[in-house]
Amino acid sequence: MKLSPSILACNFSELASDIKKVSDKVEYLHIDVMDGIFVPNISFGVPIINSIRPLFSNIFDVHLMITDPIKYVEVFSKAGADIITFHVESNSNTMDTINLIHKQNVLAGISVKPNTSISSIVEYLEFVDLVLVMSVEPGFGGQSFMKESLEKISLLKELREKNNYNYEIEVDGGINDKTAPLVKNAGVDVIVAGSYVFKNKNIDIALKSLK
């Protein structure tokens, strides 16, 4: 099980310091990019990634919750993204976006919101490196886990095994010590956790409880 703490939950005035508390204990750093249109919130963009990229060797797991992700693939790649995940519900052509991400020598991820069926991405599964299941409505941290996401995770695992695909299954939203075992049993490879990690009084214990 890999961990991808969401830096959206950090204290932005102490961003580098907060990330250092987890960076040597986790594989990924999850970076949520929101445009205020695709989701009802605005987070941060390329300048933040540029500023922290020289400081950390973790895999930068960049999640684009934006209306037209294809327009920003190149700039986020140049900023240091190792994985770029975008939403099938966005306005960008899905296959074109996947191809452009790969053209930048970056891993391509695709994501679905809670009300979007896995059937909407089945045709793309052989081409992607990661599938992100949102277990809350994207846009804000601190929401409660939606158990309906477990069926999606199990289906993705089944499709991967049946077709010999290579994508990792990632989940984001409402992950804590109670919900982590549920998603792990369903077949998740990568867990995204924000508030549970960075708002915890003991970050080390929080991280261990997710494993």
Choosing from 18, 61, 129, 172, the catalytic residue is 172
Choosing from 18, 32, 129, 189, the catalytic residue is 32
Taking a C-beta distance cutoff of 8 angstroms, is the pair 131, 155 a contact? no
Which string of DSSP letters, residue by residue, matches 133-199? EESS-TT-SSPPP-TTHHHHHHHHHHHHHHHT---EEEEESS-STTTHHHHHHHT-SEEEESHHHHT
Direct distance between the N- and C-terminal alpha carbons of the chain, in angstroms, rounded to an integer: 6
Round to whole Å and give the CA distance between 112 and 88: 6
Tokens found for residue 116: 């979007």
Taking a C-beta distance cutoff of 8 angstroms, is the pair 21, 203 a contact? yes
Q: Is 177 a catalytic residue?
A: no
Query: Is the torsion defined by CA of 94, 102, 170, 82 positive or negative?
Result: negative
Q: Is 129 a catalytic residue?
A: no
Q: Report the candidate in 128, 122, 130, 123 with the shortest Cα–Cα distance to residue 168.
A: 130
Q: Under 8 Å CB-to-CB from 25, ≥6 apart: which residues? A: 3, 204, 207
Catalytic annotation, residues: 32, 172
